[in-house]
Amino acid sequence: MANFPHKQLLFSFLLLFSFQYTKAQESKRSVLLPDHLDLQYAGSIGYASIGFGYNMFKEKASLSFHYGYVPEVKGGELHIAAIKFEYKPIAIRIKNKLTFYPINPGIFLSYNFGKNLDFRFNPDQYAKGYYFWSPALREHLSFSSELKILGDGSSKIKSISIYAEANANDLYLISWYENRTTTPIFDIFKLGYGIRMYF
């Protein structure tokens, strides 16, 4: 056991976790198939983005993965990868066709692939610790609202929702804190809008 490689141990743990999660699913579909697909406009992860996600904790939360793109004509070409976690503490059922989630707090990480963007600043130009942040990696705090339109069960798409999300990244939050007497906190939040399809 002492010679058992860490990578194999991690792989075994992930395999066991995946097996247990698959057994817990009510349907027989693969655990790798996503629970929802997102199409989003703006919101700090690209001019437009696409993503897929998984419901967690009896649909009280979700984990999703996104790819976003900013075209050259919109300020310089960027490719963005993001991973989001969203918590949905309140679900308001409106008759039998609508569910409203008024406030969903969340966090997400985004990584920008573009010219002159790396995980760290060039050590040949800047001394170690000169800048404490990463040029490409951003941490975000987000809040969203979602209105879900429930289907009738006759389609593979169980429901469709529209949502709006406001987010602020780590640098915006630090800048606001240092200038909080002159800068309203709402000025640091960026908005995104999207459509989500649940399967």
Candidates 2.60.120, 3.30.160, 2.40.160, 1.10.20; CATH matching 33-198: 2.40.160
For residue 39, give the H/E element and its range. Answer: strand 36-42
pLDDT over 80 (residue 174): yes
> Cβ distance 80 to 113 under 8 Å?
yes
For residue range 152-172, list pLDDT tens digits in order: 888 889 999 999 999 999 999
Dmax (CA) for the chain in angstroms is 62
For residue range 76-112, list pLDDT tens digits in order: 899 999 999 999 999 999 988 999 999 999 999 999 9
pTM: 0.79
Domains in the chain: boundaries: 33-198
Written as six digits, the tokens of 10 are: 């991690």
E-state strands within 57-189? 61-70, 78-87, 92-94, 98-113, 137-150, 159-169
For residue 38, give the H/E element and its range. Answer: strand 36-42
Average pLDDT of the segment spanning 129-156: 90
Output helix, strand, coil percentages for the chain, rounded to the nearest 5: 20, 45, 40
Measured CA distances, 179 to 44, 118, 142, 146, 185 (Å): 22, 28, 21, 32, 10
